[in-house]
Amino acid sequence: MRIVIDMGHTPTSPGASGHIDELYCDREAGKRIIAELERRGHVVYNSTPPDWMAYPEEVNYRCNYTNQLSGIDLFVSLHLNAGGGHGTEVLYYAGDWTGASYAARISANVAKALKLPDRGAKPNDWVGVICNTNPTAVLIEFCFVDNWDDCEAWWACPWDDLVVAVCDGIEGKAWNGTEPKPQPQPQPQPAPKPSNIRYRVCTDENGRDWLPEMVGLHDTSGSSDDFAGIDGEPIRWIAVDGVEYQACTEESGWLPVVDKYDVSDLDYGCAGDGSPIIDFKVLDDAVNCKVHKTIDKVSIWR
């Protein structure tokens, strides 16, 4: 379809005002309706005059702009009503039964979207943009700016509902509610990596008698413990496989970073100096490390 959208009034000829402002609402609705019609593949023209034009020049501009276009299927002017009424209505040129059909359909759709009474299609033979434009013309009065219930309905209606209701009416369709937009589907989360961190600790200052190996939170000795260590006995040596790690001891402070796992090599294969370890860390953000405050138990897992 080839459609003209006309956003009623100008700042120099601002239209009705009450609890809401007609000019502002016309413009906000109009730009969204134009965008939706274009998205649907229609050719859309905007007959809204420059802001400085006052009445009646602005009305003449709308009509002249529309009449110089060829092949226009429908002219739609956007307005809000005033005068103490309640609900939605759409004007059409008296005697134009095609316009009456458009008006009735658009009025029903908009009233349903706004949840207001449908005042229906209203014949008219005096409003300039209805009478003086060549193509079939309708004028939407969305609601009454001086009726509080109408204004609350306007505020409560989502733009998507209102815009789709108008566009569906222009296309000859009844509006039955805007379909919810598809929500992005959550991406499947990768399976957790197996807890494959191996580590051992020793409480003997000479580095002998290492305790059984832990794999994550599993004690390979068959114990149900989820930590390496002996309650009340400070850890003096620690070895961790596959990561960099560092120990701070009572005697030497922070020792060099270690990246090997060899409990037979007290110089390079583990961390410690025989004195109690007073702090410890794994240098890998993906690895969890829990150390008891007395540094007699440690748990490491991915």
Question: Are 145 and 253 contained in the same domain?
Answer: no
Question: Are 64 and 208 contained in the same domain?
Answer: no
**Residue 78, amino acid:** L
pLDDT digits (tens, 9 = 90+) for 154-169: 999 999 999 999 999 9
Question: Are 107 and 158 contained in the same domain?
Answer: yes
Find the mean pLDDT for residues 216-224.
86
Final residue of a structural domain among 170, 186, 219: 170
Residue 296 lies in a domain: yes
Final residue of a structural domain among 155, 170, 185: 170
Find the mean pLDDT for residues 263-285.
93
Closest C-alpha to 141, from 191, 188, 79: 79
The DSSP letter of residue 21 is B
Q: Whole-angstrom Cα distance, residue 79 to residue 33?
A: 13
Question: Are 20 and 159 contained in the same domain?
Answer: yes
CB-CB neighbours of 217 under 10 Å: 15
pLDDT digits (tens, 9 = 90+) for 129-186: 999 999 999 999 999 999 999 999 999 999 999 999 999 999 999 998 766 556 677 7
Q: Whole-angstrom Cα distance, residue 165 to residue 175?
A: 5
Q: Can you give the residue range of the structural domain that contains 130?
A: 2-170
pLDDT digits (tens, 9 = 90+) for 6-29: 998 988 888 888 889 999 999 999
Q: Could you tell me where the beta strands, DSSP code E, fall in the chain?
A: 2-7, 43-46, 74-81, 88-93, 118-124, 137-144, 198-202, 214-215, 218-219, 228-229, 237-240, 245-249, 253-254, 271-272, 277-282, 288-291, 297-301
Q: Whole-angstrom Cα distance, residue 152 to residue 158?
A: 12
Question: Are 202 and 123 contained in the same domain?
Answer: no
Please report which confidence band the pLDDT of residue 117 belongs to, taking 50, 70 and 90 as the band edges. very high
- Whether the predicted pLDDT of 67 surpasses 90: yes
Percent of the chain with pLDDT over 70: 96
Helix (H, G, I), strand (E, B) or coil at 35: helix
The CA-based dihedral angle spanning residues 13, 17, 23, 28, taken in that order and rounded to the nearest 10 degrees: 180
Question: Are 104 and 140 contained in the same domain?
Answer: yes
Residue 24 lies in a domain: yes
Question: Are 113 and 10 contained in the same domain?
Answer: yes
- Whether the predicted pLDDT of 293 surpasses 80: no
Residue 179 lies in a domain: no
Question: Are 118 and 21 contained in the same domain?
Answer: yes
Handedness of CA 226, 230, 235, 236 (dihedral sign): negative
Number of H helices, E strands in the chain: 6, 17
- Whether the predicted pLDDT of 111 surpasses 90: yes
Question: Are 144 and 206 contained in the same domain?
Answer: no
* Average pLDDT value over all residues in the chain: 91
Residue 182 lies in a domain: no
Question: Are 153 and 272 contained in the same domain?
Answer: no
Q: Whole-angstrom Cα distance, residue 205 to residue 237?
A: 8
pLDDT at 194: 53
Question: Are 45 and 132 contained in the same domain?
Answer: yes
CA 50 to chain centre: 34
Strand order of the sheet with strand 118-124? 43-46, 2-7, 74-81, 137-144, 88-93, 118-124
pLDDT at 179: 61
pLDDT digits (tens, 9 = 90+) for 51-61: 898 889 999 99
What is the number of domains present in the chain? 2
The DSSP letter of residue 209 is S
Half-sphere exposure of 35 (CA within 13 A, CB side): 9
Q: Whole-angstrom Cα distance, residue 102 to residue 121?
A: 8
Question: Are 234 and 103 contained in the same domain?
Answer: no
Q: Whole-angstrom Cα distance, residue 29 to residue 12?
A: 19
Percent of the chain with pLDDT over 90: 75
